[in-house]
Structure 1
Amino acid sequence: MSFKEKFKVFPTLKTERLTLRELSQEDVNAFQIINSDSDVLRFMAIEGQGMTIEETSKWIDTMNSRFYKHRSAFVWAIALNNSDRAIGYIECTNFVRSSMTDIAYYLSKDYWNQGIMSEAIKEVIKFGFNFVGFHRIQATVAVENKASIRTLIKLGFTNEGVLRKYMLGKEFRDVAMLSILSKDIDF
């Protein structure tokens, strides 16, 4: 199956506790709250703090068009299996020759320190290596975001070092470059 054929049907992923699914306009209120939380967004390379409902609705459409129209990202809403309410998001983007991708993610602070993001990242890693066929998955993380760096290292990522004053969103920040290769996984 070619790389473009991987974009025919949106891939819903399931774990023991989570469903990673397509973003929906029904998520607009949940994402408007998450995208307005400065604690959640302080390390993110996204704009969105203080988004209105209308802006959040457009953001959801933009995220979905990256899969359906541009074939440039897999973007999932993270929801608990016992509820369809979005509690965060995770994406694979910035594909390089169909063999590499960046991941990015965030989670409502109501769900921090429960292993939810580790579970979501692990499922996306399996999807990326086993279904898409990536060779490398990488993440750039603000060096101040110690929790995210610990999570990625726990999942088998290697901290390759610091990219000094790297463009993260519209800012130049020091970021840690972490990666995992397909040969590194044992799950």
Structure 2
Amino acid sequence: MLKDYEIDKPMLETDRLIIRTLNEADVQDLREWLGRDEIYTYWGRKASKGEKNPELMFIDPRPWVKRKPSPDFDWGIILKESNRVVGMISVFDIQNARMGDIAYRINPEYWNMGITTEALKEVVRFIFENTEIERLNGRADVRNIASNKVMEKCGFIKEGTIRQGKMVSVYCDYNIYGMLRNDYICFEH
């Protein structure tokens, strides 16, 4: 159940990766790549101030505000071999414990190594085997061939293309992907 994970987010593991909540000890790894322009070519916006200065991600700008626990999952992707943060993956905008969106980004030094596919497959497995979420959504700029391939390799179904739609703050053509719990069960078995 999602409620079980509102406060303590799980750590996931694959052959090569540990997928866990980021912390202040990860700032140095994040500083090396998170603000790089090439990551945001198809992201729909430029790097934010916090992404360019990852230490800001761990400072609460309004510590006096009591925050409700979030159902969203924001993980770092750690390469076991080096114990370095090489990416980030999220399930966010979870609505009514029924559906959520996925997003990921990887240090360009680790592109085309299957890391994103490995991480996304594990996150999808966790979501459909441990929560009540019935649908995951993904979006990818049509020009982002690699991201479109990752979603398809992980069993997401291309449901259409939005022509000149707004993706964050940029207008472009982008593909809409979806995966239902039943798609996952059929894909995995």
Using structure 1 for the length normalisation, give the TM-score: 0.86
Residues 78-102 of structure 1, C-alpha deviation per residue, up to 9 Å, x if partnerless?
0111332110100000112111110
**Alpha-carbon shift at residue 119 of structure 1 (Å):** 0.3
Q: Is the 8 A contact 2:152 2:158 kept in 1?
A: yes
* Match status 1:58 vs 2:74: no
- How many residue pairs get matched? 181
* Aligned residue number for residue 41 of structure 1: 40
Alignment of 1:1-187 (within 5 A): 1=1, 3-45=2-44, 47-48=46-47, 55-61=53-59, 69-185=68-184, 186-187=187-188
Distance 1:18 1:148, change over 3 A: same
Contact 1:4–1:71 under 8 Å retained in 2: no
Deviates further, 93-102 or 26-35: 26-35
Question: Partner residue of 2:63?
Answer: none
Aligned to 1:65: none
CA RMSD of aligned residues (A): 2.3
The 3-state SS of whatever aligns with 1:173 is strand
Q: Does the Cα contact within 8 Å between 1:45 and 1:170 map onto a contact in 2?
A: yes
Paired amino acid for 1:136? R
Contact 2:7 2:70 in 1 (8 A): no
Rounded to whole Å, the distance in 2 between the matches of 1:135 and 1:109 is: 32
Shift of 1:4: 2.5
Unaligned runs of at least 5 residues, structure 2: 61-66
Contact 2:103–2:138 (CA under 8 A) maintained in structure 1:
yes
Question: Is the 8 Å Cα contact of residues 34 and 51 (structure 2) preserved in structure 1?
Answer: no
Q: CA deviation at 1:57?
A: 1.5
- The 1:46/1:75 distance shift into structure 2, 3 A limit, reads farther
> Does the 8 A contact of 1:102 with 1:138 survive in 2?
yes
TM-score normalized by structure 2?
0.85
Give the unaligned 5+ runs of structure 1. 63-67
Tell me the amino acid that sits aligned with residue 54 of structure 2. T
Change (3 A) 1:61 1:161: farther
Q: CA deviation at 1:39?
A: 1.6
Identity of aligned residues (%): 28
